[in-house]
Structure 1
Amino acid sequence: MSNTFEKVPGFCPDCGSILPPLREKGGVTCYTCSRVFAGDLSEVFGSSSVKYTIHFNSREAREKDNKEEKKDEEDEGPTVERKCPKCGNDKMSYATLQLRSADEGQTVFYTCTKCKFKESENS
């Protein structure tokens, strides 16, 4: 096949498509023309290399994230002043969904922050 494209590292010399990233073992197959490059990959990647660093969270950061997740689970979304019909608590969290047709209002789901009683309202 004749090379009609300028050879640029990381791009297929036949069709000009970007090549997939290198794997630890094996060759590379072009996404577009399915040409397989095996063996010496310097033909298509030149002398380019990729370096990466994996940063692990400290134990303190993980514990902080876990506490924040638990707090989010307790609230279950934004809150509004609304009296719970079951326990009388004056704070409920809510979520909205468009369950009916687009020209009708959305459905609001309320959850009591104290007893977890759930109710819905079509607006």
Structure 2
Amino acid sequence: MEFCPKCGTVMFPKGECFECQCGYQKKITKKSLSDYEVSEKISTRENVIVTGDDVKTLPTTRAVCPKCKNKEAFWWLQQTRRADESETRFLRCSQCGYTWREYD
């Protein structure tokens, strides 16, 4: 996987670049392709990747938004660091849409 040096989230290939949701792009080179090994081929119908702002289907929790002080947020976990470290918990305010992180 390729991680964004600006925000730390996973970047996905798009055209000839790896692209992050924050807007950062990195050109795909032969060296970066040789770092990856395809272990299993699956059809694109089986892939589910949430990259948009439609988070209404995510679970909610009680959390105070640092921006608007709303007390409910959507949450999800994402592996943003090495595999031997815990996931990063992301929260998005259900009212204003502000997104922040929590680490364990």
- Alignment TM-score, normalising by the size of structure 1: 0.39
So what's the TM-score if we normalise by structure 2?
A: 0.45
With a CA cutoff of 8 Å and minimum separation of 6, indicate the structure with the bigger relative contact order: 2
